[in-house]
Each structure stands twice: as C-alpha cells, then as structure tokens.
Structure 1
Amino acid sequence: MNYSETLDYLFSRLPMYQRVGPAAYKNNLDNTLQLDNFYGNPHRHFKTIHVAGTNGKGSVSHMLAAILQSAGYKTGLYTSPHLKDFRERIRIDGKMIPENEVVNWVENYKVNDELQKIEPSFFELTVAMAFDYFANEKVDIAIVEVGLGGRLDSTNIITPEVSIITNIGLDHTALLGDSLEAIAKEKAGIIKNKIPVVIGTTQNETQQVFTEKAGELYAPLYFADREYSVRYAMNDFDGNQLLAVEKNGKQIYRHLKLDLKGAYQQKNLPAVLKTLEFLKTKGWGISQENIETGLAEVSKLTGLLGRWQVLDVNPRIVCDTAHNADGLTEIVKQLEQTPYKKLHVVFGMVNDKEPEKILKLLPQNAAYYFTKANIPRALDENVLAKYAAGFGLKGQAFSDVNDAYNEAKKSAGKDDFIFVGGSTFIVAEIL
C-alpha cells in the first residue's frame, strides 16, 4: 500500500468515532490491551503525562509539549482528531510521524492481525501505533491526550508522571452521562494510584467527584485555578497575548507571552504551570526561560492548528475548533470583545450534538452561512438553518463548506470579521 491507500484503510475499514459517532465507541480496553501486549507493551518504555477534559485538553497538551521541547527533551505528542493530515495525531518534537512509518506499521499490523483477529477501532489502532512509534524512537516523555472520556479511553493504560483534567462540560452525553457529575466520573478514570492529579478548573458540581476518587487512590489532588490566577495584560505587535500571572496572590509574570490568541487560553494556563511544578520536583530540568520560550512559540514548536487561528486580514478571518456549549460560550465572549463592522459566521455541526443548546448562544446580529462537513456524522445544512431560524439566526445554507466560506469572503467588507467554526470538521475543510 502507498500512503493514500493506507489512509483509506484506516478511515474506511475501521470504525472511526469522528466520522460515524457512537457506533465506533468501544466500552472496554480489551482490544487496546491485546494490541499493547502484542507490540511488547511499548507504553512502559517512556514517561508520560495524561491529559483529559471537555475543553482545553489539546491546548494544554501542546503547551506542555512546547515547553518540554524547549527544555531539550525528546517529546512525543499524541492528540486527536487531526485537521489536515492523519499524521498530526502522532508527533515527536513537533514533527509528524513520517508517511512511510504509517504505511509500514499498518502493513505489519494487517499481516499480524490474520493471527490475532483483534478487529480494533480506528482510535484503538492509532493509539497502538503512537505508543509503538514513541517507544521505538526512544522519546524521553510523551504528552498523551485522551480521545473521549477517560476511564475507557484507549490511552488509559499508561501510568503518567502527572494526570491532568482541564474541565468538565456537557459533551458526548450519550456515552459519558447526562450530568457534569457523571461525566466527571468518566474523566476521573485517568486518576492513578499515588500519581498527582491537576484539575484545571474548579467546578462546584465536579469537585467532590475528583476529591473522592483521588482520595481512594491516595493521589495528591490540586486545583490549579486556586493557586494560579491569569489575566490579560495586553497584546504585542503580532497579536500574541501578554498575560499577567499570579501564584497565591504574588505576581510571577508581568507579561508572559503566549502565541495562542484565544482569550480562553487564560483558563488553560494554570493547569500547565501546576503540572510543570510537579515535573520539576521529580527532577525534570525545566527553567523559567524554557517556559517562556515554549509558551511564546507553541504553534511553531508543535504545529497546533485551529485555536482562534487567524487566517487572513481585511477582512479578518478566524477559525476555531470549539464545538460544544462551553467552548462556544468562550468564543462568543471573544467575538463580543472584537471590533468589526459586520460579523459573518460560517457554521456547521455534527448530528449527535443538541443544536438548541449551542444555537441559543450565538449572536443574532450576524450573517450566517450554514454548511455541512463531508462526513456521515455531519448535520444537514438545511436542518441546521431551520433550527437556527428558531433562535433568530438568519443566513443561507450551503452543501459544501468551501462554497459557504467563499460566499462569506465575497460578502464581507475589509472592516468585517469572518468566523469559521461549530465543528472540528468545518475547520478542517477550510484549513
């Protein structure tokens, strides 16, 4: 197989949650454990940090990877989903796994599976590939982002240096539970015996869940936002955020530069800083300069895409992968703080979300371009437009994402603002 044929095998032959939804979700770790055992338990050959949460886990993972890279450590990074290229999911020091490595690994798996008969999902196989690649390349540490939930996620076979749970929101409720407490219990499944756990955001509904689980496992528990306070100071010439940071009321940074431009990153940073504290106590050599360099160059060092990413100016065009109520609440807050003459929104959703909870958050004083990503799980653009009309959101429907995007660009003046989002897959097609 060549690389294109290999991707076709991965995307078409294996159940993939991002494309088909809950039908691809496995409610046990049997396949993961079998695959891991077959490849010689590669996850035991490198250190890890495990990152779960409803929103922010990707940004936290990339920030940590950038800082560790700046400190000179060979750093693996496993994230999902990808936006432009499958290989974004598996990186070492910011470089994607080579195409030939993907091809050879999948061919080897197909031969061996004739004997094993494991029949994994797309995600199970991708995790096995990542862990095997990281072990073979002898990474010093890997930042491993949970795919879905935590307790039953394929990544949850590792025993990390630190476990991180960024926050809890109502997402994937059909699989994880229909309350914050129920979802928190699933996310808390990554907490391990005596391993420190960092909670990014203190929430009344979930605090007790984490406290009890950590207590059962004698895991030191820390709520990062109780120790670290982050606020916006100003933007530099390039639009990067300069943030003021306090720890326990004492200023530790006056102008900490962060090249991720979304205001919501201020909520993600405490979990990063608290995690670095633990790593330093365990002997990891991470200097103040490493932290400052890593945060100032996250996108450059790790290749992060789709987080309040500026695509153009005059008109200013921004895309963001936020796709649930909590994430889009933060997006709307930033839109309200952004100057423009008129707002244009290219918007699509997947069909297993509850559109009412999201559409009611969106601004009515905008021109909408409703559309549908090219995946089976996408919500029909005409259905979306009909739902949206009930919330006073007016616009046109387009069956193709790029048609919607091009119409928005054609309609927008140089002082207008175009936002693209609602679904990771809408952003992926634009990028």
Structure 2
Amino acid sequence: MNPREYLAGLEFHGIKLGLDNITYLLNQAGRPHTAYPTVHVAGTNGKGSVVAMLDAMLRAAGYCVGRFTSPHLIQLNERFIINAQPIDDGELDSQIEYFRNLAEQRDAPPTYFELCTAIAFRWFQRREVDAAIIEVGMGGRFDSTNVITPLACAITNIDLEHTQYLGDTRAKIAFEKAGIIKRGVPTVVSEKDREPLEVILARARDLDSRCYLLGDDFTYTLDGTVLNSRFTYRSKSLTLSNVSLGLAGRYQGENAAAAVALAERIQTSFPNLTANAIQRGLETAQWPCRLERVLEAPPVFVDVAHNPAGMRKLAAELGSCIVVMAVSSDKAAVQMCDAIAPVARELILTQYAGHRGLPVDALCAAAGNHRSFRRVEQLDDAIAAGMALASNDCPLVVTGSVFTAGQAREILIEDYGAKPLLF
C-alpha cells in the first residue's frame, strides 16, 4: 500500500473528536507545532479567507509563512502551503510514511484529518517557517489543530453546521468553537449575534483572553461592486482607506477586517508587518473558489458555499444567473435551495463524484418548493448545460460544496481552459 492509499484508507475511520491521537503523534515527532509562532482561526464561514489574507500580509512583510487549511479542492497538496506553494509530492509522501510508522506503533489508528494536521506541523518545522496560520477543521475544542498556543486566534461567525458533532443550537456550536481560546491569548471575533457572542465572551473571561469585537474595537466599510470593492478599516491604532481587495464579494469585507485585526494583534512579534504590508496583503490575497471568476466569456464563477448561511451570502452578491448546484449528503439541502433559487434564472441540479455527495434525485426533492429546475446526472454535463445558457449579462455560477467547487474547477481547467489554482 503506497502512502496515498494508506492516507485515503484512514478516511473511512470517520471523524473522532479528541486530542489523544494528535498529541501522541506530535509528541513522538518531537512536538514540531511548538517550533514557530502560530495563529488559529475558527468559524462557520470565512475562516479560510481570513487565513489567506493574513498569510498574504505576512508574506508581503517578507516572512516565510505556512498555511494549513481543509478540505482541498483538487489535490491533497493544497492543504499544506508555504509561501503560496503547495507541498511537493515527494515531500508529502515522505511525511505520510513518517507518521504512518508512528501510528502503526499504536492500537488506535489516527483519522485522515489527524494525520494531515500532524504532517502540516512537522513540514512547517522542517522548512523553518517564521509563522503558520492554522485553520480549524471542525468546531474547535476537540479539533486536532487545537494543540497549539497561538499568538492570537479568531472566531469568524457562528451558524448551524455539523450538528451531530457540535450541537443543534448556535450557542452550543459557539461553545465548541470558543474552545480554541487560550489563556491570555487575544481573540478576534466577527460574530455579532448576542446569543453565540455571549458564549464566546464567557469563555474568554474565564481564560483572561482579551476579545477584539467587530463593531466595537474595529470597524470596516466596503464600497464599490462585487468585483471591484474599496475597503476601509478603522481601529484605535490603525486606519486603512480605499483598499482594493484581492478577494471578490462584499462578504469579504468582514473577513478582511478580521484578518487586519489579527495582524494588529501580532505586530509586536512581526515588526515588518506594517500598514503598507497589511494593505499589500489585502490587495494580493488569493483563495480559489471564493466567488472566483474563472472564465470571462461567458463569465463563470465558482464558489464553495456549502451551508444555508454561505448560500445566502453568495445569493446576496448575485444578480440573475445560471446556477449549477451539487451538495453534500449531510447538508441542509432544502434551505440551501431556498437561499439560491431567487437569483437563479435556471437552477441546474446535479451531483458530484464521491460517496459524500447527495444523490441528484434527493437534491431535486429538496428543491421541490421551487417552480423550475433542471436535473442533470453528472457534474460535467451540468456545467456544459450551464455554459450553453450563460451570457455576459447572465453568468454561470457553480456552487454547493467544497467538493463541487473542486471538481468543477478541474473540469473548467481541463475542458474550458480556465486558469489553474493560485494560492
């Protein structure tokens, strides 16, 4: 069994919340996660965008930066990035083999995500990064990334997700995400709704963590269009004006503000992280499939919206459009259809390849409240149907899950000449 086959086999162990496995692996590896400064980011939506923007800021300041995110779009290598370059195949296979040997000395096998987390921490150590920005996989309290003591952490927002693991209310989910807060470590919070915010603030008080709140400690405005926005940020110590964000979408204003607030929290450790570097990072940040325009004529966008909150934010950015949609079987498909249908001139429902996808017939049943949709069995055929209908004033939007976005991105690269992924 080669390294990739071994890792893929771990996926069928499912999700196991807890830190025993990751702690064992990292202890056996010499605790690589303690070798460099980290920043930890949790939240329902937007956390990957915050990671990407803070990463770009630190690189603009001249630092060597690791970035760990999940899941990947096309290739596993995308989860492990240093200075905008994914890990190469040989190094990744070597890291898998290293931790495979450690894992096989123990009765309890690690999960797929636990092994990926360990690989990221050790690779960053071996490459001697100046900093690593770490995205939580799920929740926070028992997520395998939650072994670090970061310089700062952030919680972007709270909505219903993974309710079988995290709880069925926003307050319960907030409790899990607030589990990344560490004693004395500053926490940036974008969530403004009182119920989940009170849970986060209570956890922060218990741990003497100073919270920096969107709307109180820092504010932003975003003017312009979806693809040409102008961002302004204000806090007690920093003002940025008229910044052109590299990431499209008005919802990125909130994420950009959180990233800047994080940059402010870590400036004493990174003195070259000046206002100019922060601005250049915002302007140059790349994060594929976040309202990403991948073709010009006809205009084609790909977005990873994968829950009702994300779909509502996406719909708010769009005028009339052609929508191709495929979702995962554990998502709230009815509410997602309800959110996107009002902007869809034509709603094309399909399924992505793989065991996690919701069968297209089930998705059609979920969309039953809406008068018009088209059923297409395969994602590539659905994209072809959407391309035939799209025009300059009615773009094609492909969305529904990270897996949909990744497979669509690959189809668009191979069959339609779309640009490759950039990080």
TM-score scaled by length of structure 2: 0.92
Give yes or no for contact 2:41–2:135 (8 Å, CA) kept in 1.
Answer: yes
Once the two structures are TM-superposed, the CA of residue 283 in structure 1 deviates from its matched residue by 5.1
Question: Structure 1: how far apart are the matches of 2:165 and 2:205?
Answer: 26
Q: How does 1:15-414 map to 2 (within 5 A)?
A: 15=11, 24-234=14-224, 239-247=227-235, 252-282=239-269, 284-299=271-286, 304-335=287-318, 338=319, 343-364=321-342, 365-392=344-371, 394-414=372-392
Provide, for residues 47-82 of structure 1, a one-character-per-residue CA deviation record: whole Å limited to 9, x for no partner: 100000000000000000000011111111000011
Once the two structures are TM-superposed, the CA of residue 110 in structure 1 deviates from its matched residue by 3.0
Once the two structures are TM-superposed, the CA of residue 414 in structure 1 deviates from its matched residue by 4.0
Question: Structure 2: how far apart are the matches of 1:32 and 1:327?
Answer: 30
Provide, for residues 121-169 of structure 1, a one-character-per-residue CA deviation record: whole Å limited to 9, x for no partner: 1000000011010111111110000000000000000000001100101
Unaligned runs of 5+ in 2: 410-423
Question: Structure 2: how far apart are the matches of 1:323 and 1:136?
Answer: 34
Question: Structure 1: how far apart are the matches of 2:271 and 2:192?
Answer: 27
Give yes or no for contact 1:373–1:401 (8 Å, CA) kept in 2.
Answer: yes
Unaligned runs of 5+ in 1: 17-22
Query: Is residue 10 from structure 1 mapped to residue 7 from structure 2 by the alignment?
Result: yes
Q: Number of residue pairs matched?
A: 408
Cα distance, 1:205–1:233 mapped onto 2, change above 3 Å: same
Cα distance, 1:112–1:176 mapped onto 2, change above 3 Å: closer
Give yes or no for contact 1:240–1:260 (8 Å, CA) kept in 2.
Answer: no
Once the two structures are TM-superposed, the CA of residue 293 in structure 1 deviates from its matched residue by 1.1
Opposite residue 257 of structure 1, the aligned amino acid is: S
Question: Structure 1: how far apart are the matches of 2:85 and 2:363?
Answer: 37
Match of 1:183, SS state, is helix
Pairwise CA RMSD: 1.9
Aligned to 1:19: none
Match of 2:104, SS state, is helix
Match of 2:233, SS state, is strand
Opposite residue 183 of structure 2, the aligned amino acid is: N
Give yes or no for contact 1:314–1:416 (8 Å, CA) kept in 2.
Answer: no
Question: Structure 2: how far apart are the matches of 1:178 and 1:152?
Answer: 17
Match of 1:14, SS state, is helix
TM-score scaled by length of structure 1: 0.90
Give yes or no for contact 2:187–2:212 (8 Å, CA) kept in 1.
Answer: yes
| Aligned partner (choices 403, 412, 416) of residue 425 of structure 1 | 403
Give yes or no for contact 2:232–2:242 (8 Å, CA) kept in 1.
Answer: yes
Opposite residue 427 of structure 1, the aligned amino acid is: A
Give yes or no for contact 1:369–1:397 (8 Å, CA) kept in 2.
Answer: yes
Question: Structure 2: how far apart are the matches of 1:370 and 1:110?
Answer: 40
Once the two structures are TM-superposed, the CA of residue 251 in structure 1 deviates from its matched residue by 9.2
Question: Structure 2: how far apart are the matches of 1:326 and 1:423?
Answer: 13
Give yes or no for contact 1:166–1:200 (8 Å, CA) kept in 2.
Answer: yes
Match of 2:256, SS state, is helix
Match of 2:300, SS state, is strand
Cα distance, 1:312–1:152 mapped onto 2, change above 3 Å: same
Match of 1:255, SS state, is strand
Provide, for residues 254-286 of structure 1, a one-character-per-residue CA deviation record: whole Å limited to 9, x for no partner: 311211012110111221121111112445331
Give yes or no for contact 2:240–2:279 (8 Å, CA) kept in 1.
Answer: no
Cα distance, 1:427–1:111 mapped onto 2, change above 3 Å: same
Once the two structures are TM-superposed, the CA of residue 395 in structure 1 deviates from its matched residue by 2.1
Opposite residue 244 of structure 2, the aligned amino acid is: K
Cα distance, 1:251–1:48 mapped onto 2, change above 3 Å: closer
Aligned to 1:20: none
Identity score, percent: 33
Give yes or no for contact 2:99–2:119 (8 Å, CA) kept in 1.
Answer: no
Cα distance, 1:283–1:66 mapped onto 2, change above 3 Å: closer
Once the two structures are TM-superposed, the CA of residue 225 in structure 1 deviates from its matched residue by 3.2
Give yes or no for contact 2:61–2:274 (8 Å, CA) kept in 1.
Answer: yes
Opposite residue 428 of structure 1, the aligned amino acid is: G
**Does 154-163 or 289-298 show the bigger shift?**
289-298
Question: Structure 2: how far apart are the matches of 1:334 and 1:9?
Answer: 41
Once the two structures are TM-superposed, the CA of residue 227 in structure 1 deviates from its matched residue by 2.9
